[in-house]
């Protein structure tokens, strides 16, 4: 009596490729360096404004309003949970690495935009509140918030 074996790949190779690909890509979330203001001021773009808001400017008497740091702090557990869920989906062949990273980035993008409303920031100066007719820091025209984008990039 002879015994024979047949090897059939039922998706293992594809899953291994996707898991390997997942280690080579990341989701980038923030304000792109080419994001422009309404007035197209060539001296300072939205990415620079975001940096000033995040860190503050003693020279210009602007307190730090760290929307990026608050997003990270408030979403660490959520991101870890989604990462685990998406890794499971990749490892079972239900999702590509690119799709998983894209979904993770989109979720984080939404969280960063929400922090503009839900975050706790130093108040605006009275003159700023009068000018923009709102006491909510970081909210004026909405352009900075709308400029937050996510994208998948190779590392």
Would you state the pLDDT for residue 148? 97
Would you state the pLDDT for residue 40? 66
pTM of this prediction? 0.87
Structure tokens at 64: 């730090």
Would you state the pLDDT for residue 19? 87
Would you state the pLDDT for residue 127? 93
Would you state the pLDDT for residue 68? 97
Would you state the pLDDT for residue 12? 83
Would you state the pLDDT for residue 147? 95
Would you state the pLDDT for residue 95? 93
Q: What is the mean pLDDT of each run of 10 residues along the chain (155 residues)?
A: 80 86 94 84 87 95 96 97 94 92 97 96 94 91 94 95
Would you state the pLDDT for residue 93? 87
């Amino acid at each position: 009596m002879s015994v024979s074996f047949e090897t059939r790949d039922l998706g293992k190779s594809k899953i291994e490729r996707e898991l390997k690909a997942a280690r080579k890509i990341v989701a980038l979330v923030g304000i792109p360096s080419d994001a422009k203001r309404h007035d197209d001021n060539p001296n300072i773009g939205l990415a620079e404004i975001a940096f000033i808001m995040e860190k503050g400017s003693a020279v210009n008497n602007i307190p730090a309003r760290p929307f990026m740091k608050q997003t990270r702090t408030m979403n660490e557990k959520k991101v870890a949970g989604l990462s685990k869920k998406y890794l499971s989906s990749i490892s079972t062949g239900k999702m590509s690495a690119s799709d998983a990273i894209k979904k993770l980035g989109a979720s984080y993008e939404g969280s960063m935009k929400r922090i503009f409303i839900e975050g706790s920031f130093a108040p605006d100066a009275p003159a700023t509140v009068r000018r923009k007719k709102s006491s909510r820091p970081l909210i004026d025209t909405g352009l900075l918030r709308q400029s937050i984008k996510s994208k998948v990039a190779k590392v």
